[in-house]
Amino acid sequence: MKVFSDQLPAALEKKLPKVVIVAGEEPLQHRDACDAVRAAARKAGVEEREVLDVEANFAWGRLDEASNNLSLFASCKLLEVRLGKHSLGQEGAKALSRYAERLATCDDILLISMGKLDAKQQKSAWFKALDKHALFVPVWPVDASRLGFWLRDRASRHGLTLELDAARLLGERTEGNLLAADQELQKLALLSSPGARITPESIMQGVEDNTRFDVFTLADACLKGEPARTSRVLHGLRSEGVEAPIVLWALSRELRTLLSIQQHLEQGQSFEHACKAQKPMIFDKRRPAYQKAIARLPMKRLHKLLLMAQRLDLSIKGAVAIPTWEGLHDLALTLAGGRGLLADTAWTYQVR
């Protein structure tokens, strides 16, 4: 059964399952989910714990041994399989399938901690076999539009009352880095009296900029039509040393996807069909962002933006005299519905 991380403690209160699969790449929520499982196991009287860290050339027979070995001191134990960013591989998949076959006679609790599980992996034999007895906890990054509310709720864990404007400001300074956000809340809790009300001024005085972005965050901001956030993300990527070709690749990919969707629409196809026709297919969660972009960007403008991207590619290769990062800022901002900083004539520079 699928349970999101904020619902996990309540689900564990009702029943401690024999298997919990925590999958995702957002470290704070991933850690919290695993901690919740450990706490629930202790509360249920499970005292013994065995951890298997999966690394290169991991011997999956160790899982068979661990689940078959009877403890002298306890009737059951918590088995943790920590994959991190390692893939299961064929041996791992077989080992988990074998474990699923023994679940009826096994009293142990299995906690699998791993990276993101895509739709294809969720249809695999090992996952289906375990899922019948498991809680599946997919861990997703908190969407920027929800981050302020999420931080306000998180502050209550530390005995703080965070004003919504303060939460939004903290979100701007820690977007993409929830661990840093939580550390700032802990620091504020130490420096403040219990139940203190945290204002935007407190955040401005005491919280450093700990934002951490990737090019997918930039693409998301562009599609949703958020010029201010687009500009902030792009400046963050540049300061973090992300190479210009990677940024251009992400923007160009979205432009080509939007053009393809527009072409399907002009042929009389539905928006849903146009999204399914893309490779990779655009899933339900991202479709509203593409729909916003399509409504904002007609075919003619998309062609101009793609031409702009081609000129920037030449600039990166040294064939055109255009300031690369300023040009990327123009491209991203225009894609997001804003207006760039360079003069229009900047795009008429000739190839050397």
Predicted confidence (pLDDT) per residue in 88-112, tens digit: 889 999 999 999 988 877 888 999 9
Q: How many domains does the chain have?
A: 3
pLDDT band at 345 (very low <50, low <70, confident <90, very high): very low
pLDDT at 141 over 50: yes
120 & 75 share domain:
yes
Q: How many CA atoms lie within 13 A of 141 on its CB side?
A: 18
CATH code of the domain covering residue 36: 3.40.50.300
* pLDDT for res 103: 86
Per-residue confidence (pLDDT) for residue 352, from 0 to 100: 40
CB distance 155 to 167 below 8 Å: yes
* 168: pLDDT strictly greater than 70: yes
96 shares its domain with 11:
yes
Q: Within 13 Å, how many C-alpha atoms sit on residue 315's CB side?
A: 21
Token representation of residue 337: 């519905």
Residue with tokens 């906890």: 137
pLDDT tens for residues 72-92? Answer: 555 788 999 999 888 888 999
- C-alpha to C-alpha distance for 214 and 94, rounded to whole angstroms: 35
One domain, residues 87 and 196? no
User: What is the CATH classification number for the domain harbouring 180?
Assistant: 1.10.8.60
Boundary residue ending a domain (139, 167, 191) = 139
In whole angstroms, give the CA distance from residue 55 to residue 103.
25
Residue among 34, 28, 57 nearest 110 (CA):
34
Average pLDDT, the chain: 88
Q: Determine contact, residues 313/248, Cβ cutoff 8 Å.
A: yes
Among 21, 286, 278, which residue's Cα sits nearest to residue 143?
286
CB atoms within 10 A of CB 10: 10
Q: pTM here?
A: 0.69
**By C-alpha distance, which of 279, 278, 275, 298 is closest to 288?**
275
- At residue 190, the pLDDT reads 86
For position 74, what pLDDT does the model report? 56
Owning domain of residue 315: 215-348
Whole-angstrom distance, CA of residue 222 vs CA of residue 292: 10
